[in-house]
Structure 1
Amino acid sequence: MAFKTSLRPSSSSSSSSSSFLKYKLFSSSTHLKKRPPISNSRNEVPPKLDMPSVADQTSLDKFLNEKRRSGNVFPDEAHYVFDFMIQRQPAPHMSSFNKLFTALVKNKNYEDVISLFKRLNSTGLLPDLITFNILINCLCNVSRAFDAFVVFGRILMRGFSPDAVTFNCLIKGLCRESRIANATHLLKKMKDFGCRPDVVTYGTLIHGLCRTGNTSIALKLHEEMVKGNDELWPDIFCYSSIIDGLCKDGSIDKAKELFSEMMSRGINPDVVSYTSLIHGLCCWGKWEEAKDLIVVMMDQHVQPNVVTFSVIIDELCKKGNIVKANELFELMIQKGVKPNTFTYSTLMDGLCKNGKIDKANELLGLMIQRGVNPNTITYSTLMDGLCKNGKIDKANELLGLMIQRGVKPNTVTYNTLINELCKNANIDKENELVELMIQRGVNPNTVT
């Protein structure tokens, strides 16, 4: 549903601002969430804080600038510095508090910023627009868009004019909660506040649209940007988002067209845009084109990442080319790219389907040895391979290892074993397994 019509620039009168706050902006099911308590006992142990001599505003800002640049600030340390700042007379400029908050945001300590902002309010110090923007960003990053719009109301009440950063954060928050209609409407409303959307605004909304399957609307925004001036020309983030969305929709030709357009504009594709198109080409059976693009990618000195390698390994396994898949897996490690759970599971599945059960079992051991945790899919894949090769005892042992390592089997896992026991007419073991399944809170389905 679109925004209510009360979302408009505020007048100078306090009654207008108050009505803005009281009026519900949205009719969706997003409500004010219960805030998680800020724990004083954190896993991180802050280093001993050696506060420099900060006798004046200049030396304090120098200290805070260093913290902001390095991002080397622990939450407990930030609370300590905040206490130091609010006790100073005269109080530091609001810009100093903003620098401290920004340092926390850099490490994604959003809840700590929200907590410190509440304390800032209690001191009587007045936040500026930058402070409010930082708070809105933090609220949106913890999926509290409703609260972020309450802060937006406070911005208007204080007489500030929201800027592109304000709207970009709000649009990002709405997209994060999949409230795409609201986000799209807010883009239109920016003009009513005399605020011009920038590339970040469009990029954020385009990404949200593509992530939720609204690629056709994202394309219209892209065309709107292209028809405008050079200041609003899509950047690499915009292109990568749409290329990924088009590939997932099966519109490979359009994705390739945009990829070429991007390069013709002098925008060099990055690992994300290459990987998205390679993945799309692989998924839709265009393996030869995918291989050509991989060569181009390497020629352009763009280093493939774990997703790139995993996508190609998956495609090679599906085509039964296990030798090449294994070679690529080894190359991946040589290049310093650490395989993840998906990579191992994919290769394991390929090995199992090609009857290389011992190799798949070795791969599981190697995976654990390298500190990569197998998940339910990993274990179920190998279990299925063992069962299909008549190794029911080994599969049963693997189930025990899986449970021992704290990985919860699902219905598919149990059904794989039950199916093999049925084939061997092992009714007693089958019944035991069904009972174990129910005891562990896994509900049997029609296949069971």
Structure 2
Amino acid sequence: MMLGVVGVVSRAHHISTKIAAMSSSSLFRLTRFPILSNPTFLPSFHSVPHSFHNVDDAVSFFNRMLQMHPTPSIIEFSMILTSLVKMKHYSTAISLSHQMELKGIRPDIVTSSILINCYCHLGQLTSAFSVMGNILKRGYQPNTIILNTLMKGLCLKGMVQRAMEFHDDVVAQGFRLDEVSYATLINGLCKTGDTRAALRLLRQIERPNVIMYSTIIDSLCKVKLVSDAYDLYSEMVARRIPPIAVTYNALINGFCIVGRFQQAVGLLNEMVLQCIDAEVRTFNILVEALCKEGNVKEAKNVFAVMVKQGLEPNIVSYSSLRMGTVLLRK
């Protein structure tokens, strides 16, 4: 039996009221989602969009489609909207969808999910949740992709606590979130400096991945809690989650910040031994830090390893060495 859309409950109203107070936009409401006895989930949209040289070509093609008889399917319109999104022309995609509706072409679930994505990128969360409400009224439940988009939209606006409350809301309603969901929340918490909250969230995740760990490790290193970051790295390795270049970059940078260059060089050597492709940025972190400390000889050794690895030094690499040489002469 299909249940109707449940009205706004106290928690949702509390969230939307706080957001309204923070924004000049009108109040939007996070609706509690009904649990359907036989739920119809939104399909994930994997389209191959038309190839357009620029936004004008896409708009022109869209307008020609609007004049066609019979009218092309909504799938074809969605393909063009997707192309515009890939070109980051979110406002244009929204405008064309409105034109489509004026022509009596009703958006389907895929089109609605595209609109939610556009509104979130533009920070227009009121409109994003309004589209979500329309989806629910048509008897559908959102898939994980849409929920992730809304959480990311809240995080991009700096409303990380609202995103956490939204997370609590949908989980309480029985929705299953994925790795992207939690990586989004952890990234949002770390960007607002709430690394401890990110760490608590990590502990609640059954199967955290290397991106989640690396994000927190980087955040800890930036505030010089390098020992804590290394402990987290050791925990990750113990859980057989292999570190990646991003993980090592964060730790190497952290050790350089606190002047522990021996450990930083040791991590670089570990990367080489583990056959993890270091980036030019990885070597530049060390070269710059060593040069600032006047250890130009060791910086040149690191530089030589970079070249031996087949990486091409960039302007940062050469500038750091030049700076170190100048400082050494003073």
Shared fold (TM-score, shorter chain, > 0.5) = yes
Distance in 2 (alpha carbons) for counterparts of 1:201 and 1:259? 22
1:391 alignment partner in structure 2: none
* Aligned position for 1:318: 292
Query: What is the letter of the counterpart of residue 163 of structure 1?
Result: N
Question: Quick one: distance in 1 between partners of 2:234 and 2:324?
Answer: 34
Map of 2:233 onto structure 1: 259
* Aligned equivalent of 2:43: none
Whole-angstrom CA distance in 2 between matches of 1:67 and 1:128:
17
Structure 1 residue 193, shift from structure 2 partner: 4.4
Q: Tell me the CA shift for residue 281 of structure 1.
A: 1.6
1:157 is displaced (CA, Å) by 3.7
Matched, 1:88 2:65: no
1:17-416 aligned at under 5 Å gives the runs 24=17, 26-32=19-25, 65-67=47-49, 74-226=54-206, 233-326=207-300, 328=302, 335-337=310-312, 339=314, 346-347=320-321, 349-355=323-329
Identity, in percent, stands at 34
- Contact 2:280/2:311 (8 A) holds in 1: no
* Change in CA separation of 1:26 and 1:275 when aligned onto 2, cut-off 3 Å: same
**Secondary structure of 2:22 counterpart:** coil
Say what the alpha-carbon RMSD is for the aligned residues: 3.3
Deviations 1:78-120 (CA, angstroms, capped at 9, x unpaired): 2133223333333333333333333333343333323322222
CA contact (8 A) 1:136 1:166 kept: yes
Between Structure 1 and Structure 2, how many residues are aligned? 304
User: How far did 1:27 drift?
Assistant: 3.4
CA contact (8 A) 2:48 2:79 kept: no
CA distance in 1, matches of 2:321, 2:127: 45
- Relative distance call for 1:157 and 1:351 in structure 2 (3 A) is farther
Inter-partner Cα distance in structure 2 for 1:16 and 1:240: 37
1:183 shift after superposition:
1.0
Shift of 1:162: 2.2
> What is the CA-CA distance between 1:12 and the residue it aligns to?
4.2
TM-aligned CA distance change 1:263 to 1:120, over 3 Å: farther
- 2:52, 2:303 → 1: CA distance? 35
For structure 2, the residue ranges without an aligned partner over 5 or more in a row are 27-45
Write out per-residue CA displacement over residues 35-83 of structure 1, whole angstroms, 9 at most, x where no aligned residue: xxxxxxxxxxxxxxxxxxxxxxxxxxxxx95546xx7653222213322
Measured in 1, the distance between the counterparts of 2:202 and 2:215 equals 11
Code of the residue aligned with 1:26 in structure 2: it is I
Q: TM-score under structure 2 normalisation?
A: 0.78
Structure 1 range deviating more: 198-207 or 184-193:
184-193
State the TM-score, normalizing by the size of structure 1: 0.60
Deviation (angstroms), 1:222: 0.5
Kindly indicate whether structure 1 or structure 2 has the higher relative contact order, using CA contacts under 8 Å at least 6 residues apart. Answer: 2
Cα distance change on mapping 1:353 and 1:301 into 2, 3 Å: same
Alpha-carbon displacement from aligned partner over 1:378-435 (angstroms, at most 9, x marks no partner): xxxxxxxxxxxxxxxxxxxxxxxxxxxxxxxxxxxxxxxxxxxxxxxxxxxxxxxxxx
